[in-house]
Amino acid sequence: MSDPQAPADPAGSDAGGFRAPTIFVRHARDATPFGPRPDPGRRRLLGLGLLAGGCALSRVGVATAAVLQPTPALTAGPFYPRTHLPEVDADLGQLDGHARRALGEPFVLDLLVLDARGRPLPAVAVELWQANAGGRYAHPSDTDASGPLDPDFQGYARLVTDAEGRLRVRSVLPGAYGDGGFRRTPHLHLIFRGTGTQLTTQMFFPDQPLNAGDFIYRRLSPAAQRAATARALPAGDGVRGFGWDVVLPG
């Protein structure tokens, strides 16, 4: 199996890491407007005034503006599809005209694409590709030594987020692959292209025993690992579900 770090990122954004979020916090200044000691006859009135002022300050509180943890930029790897694919819809586990679905454990992924302020991003173009359940990509550089191709597996999708920044993908869990000094944990490859922003990344599945040893996953900080890992959702109709919020740069 070829080293998955070898080729250049087709999207031109192979950062191989992540940018830490910038947190801006602005605190209200403590105000203690004590004047000269009042005479005894005016203490009660002054106390009521300070109480009212304190209530006003408490309503102001602390103003905080936070930037969300960005989804880390990661390499596209060597198996970005080279040939035109006749079918690129959101169900990678079913090809038109095929009676059988792709081999492997099916899952549903709900994606939400956001900007750094947490606002949903509509009309973002999304490319997704993955290995089949046996860990084999439909790519000329991935040879039979990796295992057989699945003639019923689409393996690639080209999609667009809806008005709420969402899209749903159906597929089968990709197999782990590799030998010798490395073994890749199950993952998806994705490219997001929005207005004035672009991200190439990988998505990891929760509770995978190979995550900790994956040479790409383990180089991420704990915060970036969380940002790159989907969360498990309740299964529907016996199918595993995952959710993943993607935060685009810019």
Instruction: Kindly list the catalytic residues.
Output: 137, 177, 183, 187, 189
224 φ/ψ angles, rounded to the nearest 5 degrees: -70, -35
C-beta separation of 12 from 221 below 8 A: no
Question: Do 230 and 243 meet the contact criterion of CB atoms below 8 Å apart?
Answer: yes
As to burial, measured by CB atoms within 10 angstroms (0-12 exposed, 13-18 middle, 19+ buried), residue 177 is buried
- Please name the residues in contact with 103: beta carbons below 8 A apart, sequence gap of 6 or more: 132, 133, 134, 150, 152, 153, 172
Print burial letters for 107-124: b (CB count within 10 Å at least 16), e (below 16). bbbbbbbbbbeeebbeeb
